[in-house]
A and B are shown apart, each in its own frame.
Chain A
Amino acid sequence: MQANPKGVLTGTHFLDGDQACCEGALAAGARFAAGYPITPSTEIVERFAWRIPTVGGMFIQMEDELAASIAILGAVWGGAKAFTVTSGPGFSLMMEHIGYAAMTETPCVFVDVQRGGPSTGLPTLPAQGDMMQARWGSHGDYEIIALCPNSPQECFDVTIRAFNLAEEFRVPVMLMMDECVGHMTEKVVIPRAEEIEIYPRRHTARGPGEYWPYETNGDLVPEMAHAGEGYRFHITGLTHDERGYPAMNAAAQDRLVRRLKNKIRAAADRLALYEEEATEDAEVVVVSYGITSRVAQRAVEMARQRGIRVGKFRLVAAWPFPAARLRELAQRVKVFVVPELNCGQMVLEVERAAAGMARIIPVTHAGGDVHRPETILEAIVEAAR
């Protein structure tokens, strides 16, 4: 279906990534946001609080991130599209509800504008240190989707994608921004509402009495109902059966947990979005994402000027990870250079995908700044040697 024009600020704007993310959420149909202030993400909900009363909907500032991250889930079961935004310390507090959302299959979006960590770390400075936390931070086995935009325009576009995927797969989707992308101001083009495709809620067509909340029909994603519609359904974070009733045994656990994983895994090929440039003849491929991909771009250009056959591989989705494509590349690429604003996180996935077929050179950075293009260039030169 098409976007509701009420939330779409069609036109050409000069926005930072945080503001663009807010506009993406509004365009995607988010009408409920709950948040707790934390740098460098707060601007997203500040804008939402300012915009939403004229669009229709609401923002509530909760007492902490635990509250914000579950208030949105309550709102979703009440019929809304909802999201929350945070940064490292708040993201840590939200982990339990990311797990609850995964377990109860509540479609929702968590935005993490990453800053230096661990702990309070560097509140105003960039990092990409929450990438593994996004995937593994809550306890137990589950799957999520995580996207990592690298520009304000992409913050707009990818936020819409995040909401659409949340609805399609009934899964929490993480938008893994970073302080630089969040605070960088660039041109953002917002199309007309009819040009924006929206994935509608998978609302059941069945009537009350013929509906169980976790019954699946071939498809691995069950249909939803909202509170107050007469279905009188039950939702729990306990392991549950198709009726939504607690089922405390290994067989029910196996059935549920494997379905929660498989609904994402089965679609991994189309979910694992990436962008590739000049990889056809490349001996060296730089794998990067978020703000680091912008620095890597410069390093790749410099290396090409020196005649090095280097290509670029940018993760648009971090999770599911595009392992299949990287494995293909590993068969003919000599070296993957992996710069990131952490001490080596996604590089572990690159290594896993390459399975020993290509050498891996991580270019780590503890955060607080971005790489210098020369640092990445040095790694490319060393790789090509």
Chain B
Amino acid sequence: MTAVVETPVINPVEPFLRMDRMPHIWCPGCGIGTTVNCFARALIESKADPEKLAVVSGIGCTGRVAGYLHVDSFHTTHGRAIPFATGLKLANPSLQVVVYSGDGDLFAIGGNHLIHAARRNIDLKVICVNNFIYAMTGGQTAPTTPEPATTTTAPYGSYEPAFNLPYLTESAGATYVARWTTYHVRQLTRSIVEMLQKKGFCLIEVLSPCPTLYQRRNRLGDALETMKYYKERSKTRHGAPTSEVGLTMQGDIVVGKFVDRDRPDYLESMRRRLAEQLGDKFAGVGVLA
């Protein structure tokens, strides 16, 4: 008789997840988990060494991503994932440092840090999940909330203009800027692979449904209907001028890779300048005493 050995079927992304922390906290229909799946698949595809990868998150629903990834992971303070990641990356330049956070965390409370990290061209890979709302706290207005969406703090509809995240990030100096939605899982995965190979400050904006708070409160249907919206209204335009990719409520969504350029990153500029000025006296930028 032949013994039948049953090998358990393991999802290929499992080695990158802290399975001992499942189930996660995200709501049914939330898109954050989809982005994590794409991220893990991108790690597999790019053959990234998980031991040389650190993920830094801020606070919020997307801020919980760090805690579910089985890599060195840091759940920091609200808005400060980027400056934490800056210190981490500069202290250990051999690390691939990914910042994974939400639109409110990165562009409202953390907006100043984002533009300065982009200006300096710190070698950080930022994944910004944009659900148009502060979800963890119950659905308040975010800097991305489109007019005239209703939130708990804009009960009569928002009347603030929303930030165009790719435009802002490109203007500040990022070397790579792309946008996808959680409908575009293959494109998003490819984009993450590409970003991980890039040097400098990179950002991918991922539109994601928040069926519990954004879609429901605005009577936009459930997560499936949001997928249909993403599918029908997304227009892929690689290289589109970022000034033209602003979002409107339920309007067209321009997706694609908008920026892919090269310029020296912060450490490179620092090393070059100091070596030029100090010659043999320059002792390097290694911080390990």
Contact = CB atoms under 8 A, between A and B. Distances in A.
A318 B21 CA distance: 41
Given A32-B287, A58-B270, A66-B80, A230 B87 contact: no
A281 interface: no
A274 interface: no
B72 to A, nearest CB: 4
Contacts of A237: 75-77
B89 interface: yes
B289 A7 contact: yes
Interface stretch (A77-85, A120-128, A303-311, A361-369): A77-85
A226 interface: yes
Contacts of B79: 66
Nearest to B68: A234
B259 interface: no
Contacts of B237: none
B289 A74 contact: no
Contacts of A74: 56, 74, 83-91
Contacts, number: 171
B278 interface: yes
Interface in A40-92: 53-58, 60, 62-64, 66-68, 70-82
Given A78-B87, A78-B91, A78-B95, A235 B80 contact: no
Given A231-B72, A232-B70, A97 B288 contact: no
A351 to B, nearest CB: 35
Interface in A245-261: 245-246
B34 interface: no
Interface string A356-382: 000000000000000000000000000
B75 A80 contact: no
Contacts of B51: 228-230, 232
A227 interface: yes
Nearest to A230: B51
B286 A82 contact: no
B263 interface: no
A6 interface: yes
Contacts of A66: 79-80, 83, 113
Contacts of B21: 245
Contacts of B30: none
A238 interface: yes
B92 A96 contact: no
B285 A67 contact: no
A159 B230 CA distance: 56
A31 interface: yes
A116 interface: no
Nearest to B94: A228
Interface in B91-127: 91-92, 94-95, 112-113, 116
A72 B87 CA distance: 6
B71 to A, nearest CB: 5
B23 to A, nearest CB: 14
B83 A67 contact: yes
Contact of B84 (A73, A230, A233): A73
A172 B279 CA distance: 36
Nearest to B79: A66
B284 interface: yes
Contacts of A228: 51-52, 54, 72, 92, 94-95
A70 B59 CA distance: 14
Contacts of B287: 31-32, 56-58, 75, 78-80, 82
Contacts of B264: none
A53 B87 CA distance: 17
A78 B80 contact: no
B3 interface: no
A232 B49 CA distance: 11
Interface of B: 18, 21, 50-52, 54, 56, 66-67, 70-77, 79-80, 83-92, 94-95, 112-113, 116, 270, 274, 278, 281-289
Given A67-B86, A70-B76, A74-B56, 15 more contacts: A30-B289, A53-B274, A53-B285, A57-B285, A63-B83, A66-B79, A66-B83, A71-B87, A73-B84, A74-B87, A78-B88, A79-B287, A230-B51, A234-B66, A234-B73
18 contacts: A7-B289, A30-B289, A31-B289, A57-B285, A62-B86, A68-B83, A70-B76, A70-B83, A74-B83, A74-B91, A75-B87, A77-B74, A78-B89, A229-B51, A231-B72, A232-B70, A233-B73, A246-B67
